[in-house]
Amino acid sequence: MDIVRRSVPAAAATLAAAGVHPVLARLFAARGVATRDDLDTDLAGLPRFAAMKGIDAAAARLAGAIAAREKIVVVADYDADGATACAVAVRGLAALGADVDFLVPSRFEHGYGLTPEIVRDAAAKAPRLLVTVDNGIASHEGVAQAASLGIEVLITDHHLPAATLPAPALIVNPNQPGCTFPSKHLAGVGVMFYLLLATRALLRARQAFAAGPGPNLALLLDLVALGTVADVVPLDRVNRTLVAQGLARIRAGRAQPGVAALFAAAGRDPRRATAYDLGFVAGPRLNAAGRLSDMAIGVRCLLAETSAAALPLAVELDRLNRERRDVESAMQEEALAELDARAAVATQPEAFTLCLYRPEWHQGVVGIVASRLKDRFHRPAVVFAPGGGAGELRGSGRSIGGFHLRDALDLVAKRAPGAILRFGGHAYAAGLTLAAGDLPRFAAAFEAVAREQLSASQLRRRLESDGALAPGELDLELAEVLRREVWGQGFPAPVFDDVFTVADQRVVGGRHSRLALHRPGEPGAVRYQAILFNQVDPLPASIRAAYRPDVNEWNGAASLQLVVEHWQPA
pTM for this structure? 0.92
Q: Are strands 152-156 and 170-172 parallel, antiparallel or unpaired?
A: parallel
On the 0-12 / 13-18 / 19+ scale of CB atoms within 10 A, 72 is: buried
406-433: per-residue pLDDT in tens? 999 999 999 999 999 999 888 888 999 9
For residue 342, the model assigns a pLDDT of: 87
Q: At what angle do helices 296-303 and 80-95 cross, to 10 degrees?
A: 40
Contact in structure between 505 and 248 (CB atoms under 8 Å): no
Rounded mean pLDDT, 516-544: 94
Q: Is a pLDDT exceeding 80 seen at residue 347?
A: no
454-499: per-residue pLDDT in tens? 999 999 989 999 999 998 899 999 999 999 999 999 999 999 999 9
Rounded mean pLDDT, 196-203: 98
**H/E element holding 132?**
strand 129-133
**H/E element holding 434?**
strand 429-435
- Calculated CA dihedral for residues 475, 477, 478, 480, nearest 10 degrees: 130
Q: How confident is the model at residue 346 (pLDDT cuts 50, 70, 90)?
A: low
CA 18/CA 398 separation, integer angstroms: 39
More confident residue, 349 or 437: 437
Phi, then psi, of 143 in degrees rounded to 5? -65, -40
CA 52/CA 57 separation, integer angstroms: 11
16-29: per-residue pLDDT in tens? 999 999 999 999 99
Q: Is a pLDDT exceeding 80 seen at residue 151?
A: yes
Enumerate domains of the chain plus CATH numbers: 47-317 (3.90.1640.30), 348-459 (3.10.310.30), 465-569 (2.40.50.460)
